[in-house]
């Protein structure tokens, strides 16, 4: 065997071994894939939202769109054991729902199972959900998590409704993005959004890799959810002020029996008093 051939074989063997030492696990659900599927050429144009106050809000995780594993020789457990646990999803949805329940202009909040959302269902599916659950506004929660064990640097890149996020990583990292986007169903208009990001750096041996990755995955999901909840609280407060100060962006319609809060009631009394005073002046 000549030296050139020996070098080629050696390099090929090293590449093979390094490939075997690389593991990637990717779990993802995407609002873009759910609302704007690639196989649909025309997408509806949003119009000005006409919100009925108090709001009836639904919240749900969009269906998973991607889940894969590479370097299976390092993974001893089934693929289902590394997916986003439904119990954790339910816990996150309930925490998001609590933020809406605290608002005076929200009448109810419905937690909607993911099974009612059709993959790629778009706004047609949202309209069906709105009718089924009697909600006008819906908060869609998506996630993107990449776990990898590798000597080289890798990154997670996720396309959101307003652009792409990129999180760089190194060996044995878990990168997670959780994004909540709130839509008015009738107008198909996005009202606001709130993201949360987490990066967990792990250390493990091939023996305990299964348990370590599962623990890192759960930790990263919870950390990203914590940040997203804080951002969501801020966005809800900003949205409340925005619809007050910018009536040209959103039209408000009060439901029967709702006065819009104590401030609105006081304003009505003032207007009635002024009207009564002017009427008396005209009679005189």
Pairing assessment for the beta strands 55-61 and 106-111 based on DSSP bridges: parallel
Burial class (CB in 10 A: 0-12, 13-18, 19+), 61: buried
pLDDT in tens, 166-222: 655 446 788 999 999 999 999 999 999 999 999 998 765 555 667 778 888 889 999
Burial class (CB in 10 A: 0-12, 13-18, 19+), 227: middle
Place of tokens 């590479």: 70
- pLDDT at 267 exceeding the cut of 60: no
Q: Which helix (H) or strand (E) holds 195?
A: strand 189-201
CA 243 to CA 251: how far, in whole Å? 8
- pLDDT at 122 exceeding the cut of 70: yes
Mean pLDDT across the chain: 76
CA 270 to CA 255: how far, in whole Å? 22
| More confidently predicted of 213 and 8 | 213
Q: Could you tell me the pLDDT band of residue 150, with boundaries at 50, 70 and 90?
A: low
| Phi, then psi, of 27 in degrees rounded to 5 | -120, 135
Query: Taking the model in full, what pTM does it have?
Result: 0.74
Residue 151 CA: distances (Å) to CA of 22, 77, 107, 171, 212: 8, 22, 52, 5, 17
Q: Could you tell me the pLDDT band of residue 162, with boundaries at 50, 70 and 90?
A: low
**pLDDT at residue 268, rounded to an integer:** 38
Name the residue among 144, 172, 141 with its Cα closest to residue 158. Answer: 144
**pLDDT at residue 186, rounded to an integer:** 94
CB–CB of 99/232 below 8 Å?
Answer: yes
CA 191 to CA 240: how far, in whole Å? 11
**pLDDT at residue 260, rounded to an integer:** 59
Q: Which helix (H) or strand (E) holds 70?
A: strand 64-70
**pLDDT at residue 65, rounded to an integer:** 83
- pLDDT at 94 exceeding the cut of 70: yes
pLDDT in tens, 20-69: 446 778 889 999 999 998 877 667 788 888 888 899 999 999 999 867 66
Residues near 155 by beta carbon (within 8 Å), at least 6 away in sequence: 166, 167, 168, 169, 175
Tell me the mean pLDDT in the region 12-16: 41
- pLDDT at 73 exceeding the cut of 70: no
| Phi, then psi, of 102 in degrees rounded to 5 | -75, -10
């Amino acid at each position: 065997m000549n030296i050139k051939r020996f070098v080629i074989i050696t390099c090929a063997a090293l590449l093979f071994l390094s490939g075997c030492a690389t593991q990637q696990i990717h779990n993802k659900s995407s609002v873009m894939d759910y609302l704007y599927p690639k196989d649909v050429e025309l997408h509806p144009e949003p119009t000005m939202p006409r919100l009925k106050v108090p709001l009836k809000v639904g919240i749900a995780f969009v269906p998973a769109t991607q889940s894969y594993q590479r370097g299976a020789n390092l993974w001893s457990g089934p693929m289902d054991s590394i997916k986003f646990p439904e119990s954790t999803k339910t816990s996150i949805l309930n925490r998001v729902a609590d933020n809406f329940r605290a608002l005076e202009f929200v009448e109810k909040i419905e937690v909607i199972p993911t099974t009612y959302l059709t993959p790629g269902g778009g706004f047609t599916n949202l309209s069906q959900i709105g009718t089924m659950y009697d909600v006008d506004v819906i908060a869609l929660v998506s996630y993107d998590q990449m776990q990898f064990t590798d000597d080289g640097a890798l990154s997670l890149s996720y396309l959101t409704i307003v652009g792409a996020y990129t999180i760089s990583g190194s060996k044995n990292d878990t990168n997670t993005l959780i994004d909540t986007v709130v839509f008015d169903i009738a107008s198909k208009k996005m009202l606001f959004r709130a993201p949360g990001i987490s990066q967990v750096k792990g250390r493990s041996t091939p023996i305990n890799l299964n348990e370590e990755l599962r623990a890192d995955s759960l930790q990263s999901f919870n950390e990203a959810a914590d940040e997203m909840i804080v951002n969501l609280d801020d966005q809800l407060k900003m949205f409340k002020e925005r619809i007050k100060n910018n009536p040209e962006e959103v039209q408000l319609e009060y439901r029967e029996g709702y006065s819009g809060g104590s401030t609105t009631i006081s304003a009505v009394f003032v207007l009635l008093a002024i009207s009564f005073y002017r009427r008396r002046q005209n009679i005189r």
